[in-house]
Structure 1
């Protein structure tokens, strides 16, 4: 079982092996569920957006048609919570 230290600000840092186990990459989010007995369930937050959110968010911003690579970048940044 992994043990983590809590900082004076009440923060913890998850080690890379734990993040890899969760499948979490930089910029992605983690969810916690409170369980009885002072336990927490940790899981990777998965994107819940729709294609309408994607299209509406970026409507009118492109001066030219986007490449597939550019669309993938925009989608990944939006799902990671970046603006």
Structure 2
């Protein structure tokens, strides 16, 4: 199977390869060079390392209203 590289460096992965790897829209792939110089296309692992701030993301709970925040920034009580 072969495909053509566009001017932007994009390629269309043939359907047979997408089916074989289970690729769906939004899937991430990675490329790896083998010892003999070939390049392998791999389905990126779903168990990626968490970034250092990832565990801090989320919602802190019920917060201040916009009016309360504005009052604090203006020094009002």
Structure 1 residues 36 and 49 mapped into 2: Cα distance closer, same or farther (>3 Å)?
A: closer
Does structure 1 residue 34 correspond to structure 2 residue 71?
no
Question: Which residue pairs with 2:7 in the alignment?
Answer: 8
* Pairwise CA distance, 1:46: 1.7
* Pairwise CA distance, 1:47: 1.4
Structure 1 residues 9 and 36 mapped into 2: Cα distance closer, same or farther (>3 Å)?
A: farther
Q: Structure 1: which 5+ residue stretches go unaligned?
A: 64-83
Q: Structure 2: which 5+ residue stretches go unaligned?
A: 63-77
SS in 1 for 2:17: helix
Q: Which has the higher helix share?
A: 1
- Inter-partner Cα distance in structure 2 for 1:62 and 1:16: 45
- Inter-partner Cα distance in structure 1 for 2:61 and 2:12: 38
Q: Say which structure, 1 or 2, has more relative contact order (CA 8 Å, 6+ apart).
A: 1
- Aligned residues: CA RMSD: 3.0
CA deviations 1:24-83 (Å, max 9, x no partner) are 211110011012444111110121258xx88753x32888xxxxxxxxxxxxxxxxxxxx
Structure 1 residues 19 and 42 mapped into 2: Cα distance closer, same or farther (>3 Å)?
A: same
Question: Which residue pairs with 2:47 in the alignment?
Answer: 48
Q: Runs in 1 of length 4+ with deviation above 6 angstroms?
A: none
